Amino acid sequence: MPLNAIGIGRVWNIKGNAKEAVSSIEMVFNRFNEKGFKVKDDMKIRAYVEAAEAMLDGANKNTTKALDYASKAIAIDEYNSSAYIVKCDALYESDPLNATDPLNNYKKAAELDKTSAKALSKGAFMYYRGRLFEKAICMYNEALKNDPNFAPAYAGRGDANYYANKPNEALADYKKNLELNKGNLTARK
């Protein structure tokens, strides 16, 4: 039930109805606080992470709520890499010109889960945005060592290679991304 209500909140947010989105999601957390209602910490963390992600979906991103939910997940378990990843996403969305805080948090997430290709790729993207293409490529390489089938790392590394004036490497990365995303039309854009 909790993740279903959060999913409904995500749909409301994507459709542009922020009030309904927050209401649906807050209903879950109000239920968590009801006397006699028992929820394990891992479910609470997952719900807060999903809620934070929901607040970042759609055109009307609510970075304040996303940061609040991510912080609540971290308060329950300061070693949860997924909570740090979504916190980074919210920090980046709230101030795209300042990559320092998101990058530091992506690095923290990668330290917490040394096998997380997602955390490393998100950190690499911060280097890419800062036009530090060689650093981005190195970090994407680390991500791909951890998970050779993580398609977003190929797409990101392809972009970094392209801007680092390495067209052959970029083309190989784009081809691998498409290969891993067979049937996904958005991967071709």
Taking only the tens place, the pLDDT of each residue in 52-109 is 999 998 888 999 999 999 999 999 999 999 999 999 999 999 998 888 888 888 889 8
Query: Do residues 124 and 110 lie in contact, with contact meaning Cβ atoms separated by under 8 Å?
Result: no
Handedness of CA 25, 27, 33, 39 (dihedral sign): negative
* pLDDT computed for residue 96 by the predictor: 87
pLDDT for the residue 189: 47
Average pLDDT, the chain: 90
pLDDT(1) > 60 = no
The tokens for 4 are 């279903």
Q: What pLDDT does 115 receive?
A: 87
Q: How many CB atoms lie within 10 A of CB 35?
A: 4
Are 157 and 124 a contacting pair, CB within 8 Å? Answer: yes
